[in-house]
Structure 1
């Protein structure tokens, strides 16, 4: 690469999903996944920000850095009043979505308009709100993204058609609903379940047989079929290894946890999976940033947040030493090669203050750092097993194998 060339987010994304594989077919799938990830993947993140904030014990002195995804984490962390929240994402679409949410928190007139935009996300007047309140307060790149025209008009019109049904994951969930209907499964009965016992019966009598069907078994055994869940080939292989070479037992257990381990009325992740939107009841469970009681706090703190279309390692290279207090890596490390892990943790260790917390998730259950991260870097950190286990159990999205928390040693 010439000295004057700067890697684009597309270049960085291709590098991020490359993993350790040298297989030509897998490399082709990685390139396809990277191309898909340039557009909208997650309209909502699938990591529970409440579990995150509890595990990290976020407070007003914390300087947080995170991977943004759909931005529900970035926005929800603002309810804890941290000193700052800096987010990164390699998808330009995710960056545009986060900037839209931040602008909406600061400039929409009230919570009703804010919830109508990102909670209901299907109101006819949302584009008019965008034109009046949001477009004038967005950067040029974000405006260009939301105002780009396609066959159904401007992209911002997705917020009139159920925004959560869009994106790669939204389409994947739509396909699973079609598959369920063909199998005679009606999720509406599950959404009215009154007890965990009712939820377990529904899973055992409706979902479990569906997962045993020939169609599901055929699809689950193909890496590309799970791109809609945001699972690149490297992460797919880790999941399959956890299932003894078959990813289906792992997917079955994750579906069981989502449906059976938390009351449906308290789990907005289950609503997104089963109803393709949030519950509309007055006391519905919502991401913290959408809760009415948190609106003024989110509005007040939105100026403390910023989002960049860069890799986390790249961003940290420009940060001062010993300044940051909390890192949220989502499941990005599952995608990384050993060299990429070392490069990331070199910068995390350099920029972290003593006692800093690092939280991440893994597709499988085991912590991936021992045996892969350079020993001299790992030696600077302590693994908090009790908090990790509690955070894993509390994550209502139930899509990951485990949540892990490390603390930087004070000496």
Structure 2
């Protein structure tokens, strides 16, 4: 074996092992039960209007519904995992039904005592694949189940439940401090609570949990992103998570941070929740629900099947994975995006890395980026877990 072959052998083994685990987890279950990107920032950057035609990654569908409040002509929600689209379809069905109490119990509280009859009332609105999924998994909303909340089901929810349970059992006071932090009256009070909470969080157990590749896989963080963080962030993954958590918990108001609340407590509140769960927005969303169209495929497959000029693309962070794992597919996706865009089409991306290295150089030449806008906005992101935020317009 040559030296070059010996050098690449570990990488091939890592890739094959990651493929096996990642595809086993992601190919067979729901991953995200809530979006982990801040739509408040997205909507400021995207500037959606009545002529907007949006192509986006579905995730859990929360942000597609948030964008819908701005009245775009159409939103194409794309995900390779049909279970993600099934979540969006159930949300849309409950929104169309128009009963805010049922909608909030399902996706605000995360459980409903009458989950079976309510599901039966909207089941006919769902696609065949969504019906298949929910026929089997509607018990995710059973308040009598061991986990008691939809938000502790699916891969990311299970990881949150396991990690939270382990920490809360090891140090019961952590939960009390976390609840105090969520209800703090001011940033100063919140920062004081977190200063007391932080040393309780970071011990041997939390460091061990962060080193578990399976936990990261359940959270939807693939090996390429972990490697990207290890290679680009001083101190690696542990320092990255510590710094991000400190910034969010000390520097941004926790009272409005529904992203972290739902995984700490298992539910939202009426005053701390995504916009689709605010009662005043229900009539508007119900009237526009048919503008959201789920598609189970890749972005490239969608664009090949549905060519046209789209005004906005929201790509989340999936290109981190493509750049490391399938660079040819990444280039093909960009070629199709640019072929189905016009000058001024807006593109929003996030990355675990700190720069644009995941975007192929020839593509960067076709785009105009605005780091002077995104850098300060990134600091206000209530999720706070991404390394960078990127907004571009097609030249």
Q: 1:245 to 1:222 in 2, by over 3 A?
A: farther
**Superposition pairs of residues 60-71 of structure 1, within 5 angstroms:** 60-71=50-61
Q: Secondary structure at the match of 2:112?
A: coil
Kept in 2: contact 1:89–1:308 (CA 8 A): yes
Q: Give CA deviations for 1:184-214 in whole Å, capped at 9, x if unaligned.
A: 4122222232221222222222224422x12
Matched, 1:157 2:139: yes
Please show how residues 248-259 of structure 1 align to structure 2 within 5 Å: 248-259=238-249
Q: Which residue number in structure 2 is paired with residue 324 of structure 1?
A: 310
Q: Give the structure 2 partner of residue 46 of structure 1.
A: 36
Range that drifts further, 95-104 or 298-307: 95-104
Task: Determine which of 360, 364, 378 is the counterpart of 1:378.
Answer: 364
User: Is residue 2:95 matched to residue 1:105?
Assistant: yes
Q: Secondary structure at the match of 1:394?
A: coil
Residue matched to 1:17: none
Counterparts of 1:328 and 1:89, CA distance in 2: 12
1:55 and 2:45 are equivalent in the alignment = yes
What corresponds to 1:393 in structure 2? 379
1:116, CA displacement in angstroms?
2.1
2:196 to 197, 205, 208: 205
2:62 match:
72
Q: In structure 1, what is the equivalent of residue 131 of structure 2? A: 143
Q: CA deviation at 1:75?
A: 1.4
Question: For the Cα contact (< 8 Å) 2:108–2:269, is it kept in 1?
Answer: no
CA distance in 1, matches of 2:390, 2:247: 18
Q: In structure 2, what is the equivalent of residue 5 of structure 1?
A: none
Residue 374 of structure 1: CA displacement?
Answer: 4.1
Counterpart among 111, 114, 122 of residue 103 in structure 2: 114
1:23 alignment partner, SS class: helix
Q: Which residue of 2 aligns with 1:365?
A: 354
SS of the residue 2:311 aligns to: strand
User: Is 1:33 matched up with 2:22?
Assistant: yes
TM-score normalised by the chain length of structure 2: 0.90
Structure that is richer in helix per residue:
2
Paired residues of 1:40 and 1:167 also in contact (CA < 8 A): yes
1:368/1:288 CA distance change after superposition, 3 Å = farther
Q: Give 1:245 shift.
A: 5.9
* Paired positions, count: 374
Once the 2 structures are TM-superposed, how far is the Cα of residue 293 of structure 1 from its aligned partner?
A: 1.7
Give the Å deviation of 1:310. 0.4
Deviations 1:223-261, CA, capped at 9 Å, x for gaps:
333112210011110111233463100011121123122
Q: Distance in 1 between matches of 2:19 and 2:190?
A: 37
Q: CA offsets per residue over residues 250-307 of structure 1, 9 Å max, x none?
A: 0111211231222121111121132221125xxx122111111211111111101111
Contact 1:319 1:351 (C-alpha < 8 Å) held by counterparts: no
Matched, 1:272 2:267: no
1:231 aligns with 2:212: no
| Displacement after TM superposition at 1:183 (Å) | 2.8
Deviation, structure 1 residue 168: 1.1
Give the match for residue 180 of structure 2. Answer: 189
Cα distance, 1:222 vs. partner? 3.7
Structure 1 length as normaliser, TM-score? 0.86
* Shift in CA distance, 240/222, structure 1 to aligned 2, threshold 3 Å: farther
Structure 1 unaligned segments of length 5 or more: list them: 1-20, 149-154
User: Is the alpha carbon distance of 1:208 and 1:346 closer, same or farther for their aligned partners in structure 2, counting shifts above 3 Å?
Assistant: farther
Q: After TM superposition, where is structure 1 displaced by more than 3 Å over at least 4 residues in a row?
A: none
User: Which deviations, in whole Å up to 9, do the C-alpha atoms of 1:104-147 show, x marking residues without a partner?
Assistant: 222x2322222222112212113211112x11211222111111
- Please state if 1:308 is matched with 2:283: no
Name the CA distance, whole Å, in 1 between partners of 2:68 and 2:224: 32
Q: Which residue of 2 aligns with 1:296?
A: 283
1:82 and 1:270 map into 2 onto residues whose CA distance is 28
Partner of 1:9: none
Aligned partner of 2:343 among 348, 354, 365: 354
Q: Report the more deviating stretch, 346-355 or 387-396.
A: 387-396
Q: How big is the alpha-carbon RMSD for the aligned residues of Structure 1 and Structure 2?
A: 1.9
Which ranges in structure 2 are unaligned for 5 or more consecutive residues? 1-9, 144-148
Q: Distance in 2 between matches of 1:332 and 1:195?
A: 35
In structure 2, C-alpha distance between the alignment counterparts of 1:156 and 1:307, rounded to whole Å: 20
Is 1:168–2:155 an aligned residue pair?
A: yes
Partner-residue secondary structure (3-state), 2:236: coil
